[in-house]
Amino acid sequence: MTQTVAHESNESEEAFAERARTFLRAHAAPRAAEERFVWGKGSDAPTMFEKLDRAAELRALAEAKEWRATKFDAGFAWIMGPPALGGAGLDRRYQDIWDRLEATYDVPSGSYFGIGLGMVAPTILAHAREEVAADLLPKLQRADLVACQLFSEPGAGSDLASLQMRAERDGDEWVLNGQKVWTSGAHYSDIGEVIARSDPDKPKHRGLTGFIVDMHAPGVDVRPLRQMTGGSNFNEVFFTDVRVPDRWRLGDVNDGWRVALTTLMNERASIGGGGVGGGGSGMVRLIEMARHFGVADDRLVRQELARVHIEDQVRHWTSARAMASLSAGRTPGPELSIGKLGLIRTIQATCDLVAHILGPRMVVDTGEWGTFNWSGYVLGAPAMRIAGGSDETLRNIVGERVLGLPKEPGIDTTSPYRDLKVGTQAR
């Protein structure tokens, strides 16, 4: 691995920007100016999850890894990272400068690294042994390694603490057995963060332990899951006597719930930053759809267009406030669930609007531009209502941990109505 170029942490914003421009001019081509959106021209495939065959996906991943490594070696991949681990040691202002400048150049997508860098890496930094973090984090940031998140199981999704995958201690190793499901990117990942049940006799939240696992280890079996969109962005992963060294444990034994919460809070921050969809044009595309089909003056359609815009703006401002809090050094908290819920409201408003305008055109492929391909977006929306915590779970988190409302009665809590007889009324 090439050593990252070090720079003074007191570098001025102007000097940093000029250095970034020089690097980008030398390594990438400027992005062509975005043409004004015109209905009927360009791509009409605003899918929620892009459908790529595995060969094309691997080619795109290789290009993304090469670009990430080039950035890392020049000091632009981990701008806010600690210098001791290969980061540039700069603050959010410099990251924002880089993001704005990089967006003006035609470079590979970094979406393959979103889970590893946005969710797994912060958890490693917070909970892994110092020597393990020093080894793995620079490799993740340089894209020498790609990481996935292995949490959900067939019987444990929103109620993650009900997971049943076992981790049994064997000397200086742990032996993992069980199944995980809905794992994005598992088929091209090198390592994964996994939570397993290490003590079945403890209450469910207290008998879990977190680990980093080698996705190429013997006994790890990754199988693609076909979605109703037609793609296979997710996987199920089976573990059969998979051995993990104890030094790759995250946090203390049986304290895996704390580890999981670190990941989940970062996950909701990452997901909540999404947008309306429908391509870079967003609202313009939706407005032009209404005009094309002659309903732009329909009062209900105009109301639904306004709803999409309002939901997206509120989500954007909420996420910006949360990101500012993180930039100030605060730990991600339950309030980040609001950003993810805001994204879902925006997506649902978009689906409602598109279904209203297109009607049967969205479910019957007549070849008409801008119609049937919206079905991929609508069919992908339910997955987003589950990813990062279901809507119901996140509402409970916001109600209980942000607003301070009483805990939702459940199988693990005492209901205030437990003594209420059938046919009686509460007084």
Enter the DSSP assignment of 160. G
What tokens appear for 103 in the block?
């967006």
What tokens appear for 281 in the block?
């044009």
Which residues, including other chains, have CB under 8 Å from residue 63's CB and lie 6 or more apart?
A: 108
Sign of CA dihedral 74, 80, 84, 85: negative
- Yes or no: say if 362 and 305 are a contact pair by the CB < 8 Å rule: no
- Yes or no: say if 121 and 146 are a contact pair by the CB < 8 Å rule: no
Closest alpha carbon to 255 in 218, 210, 193? 210
Residue reference for tokens 């397993």? 196
- Yes or no: say if 254 and 198 are a contact pair by the CB < 8 Å rule: yes
Helix (H/G/I), strand (E/B), else coil: 44: coil
**Phi and psi angles of residue 85, each rounded to the nearest 5 degrees, phi first:** -110, 5
What are 197's strand-pairing partners? Answer: 166, 208
What distance in Å separates the CA atoms of residue 193 and residue 151, rounded to the nearest whole number?
A: 8
Sign of CA dihedral 58, 148, 115, 344: positive
What tokens appear for 418 in the block?
């437990």
What tokens appear for 398 in the block?
């916001």
Closest alpha carbon to 235 in 164, 187, 165? 187
Catalytic positions are 267
CA angle, 160 as apex, 159 and 164 as ends, to 5°? 110
Alpha helices, DSSP H, located in 328-390: 336-358, 374-384
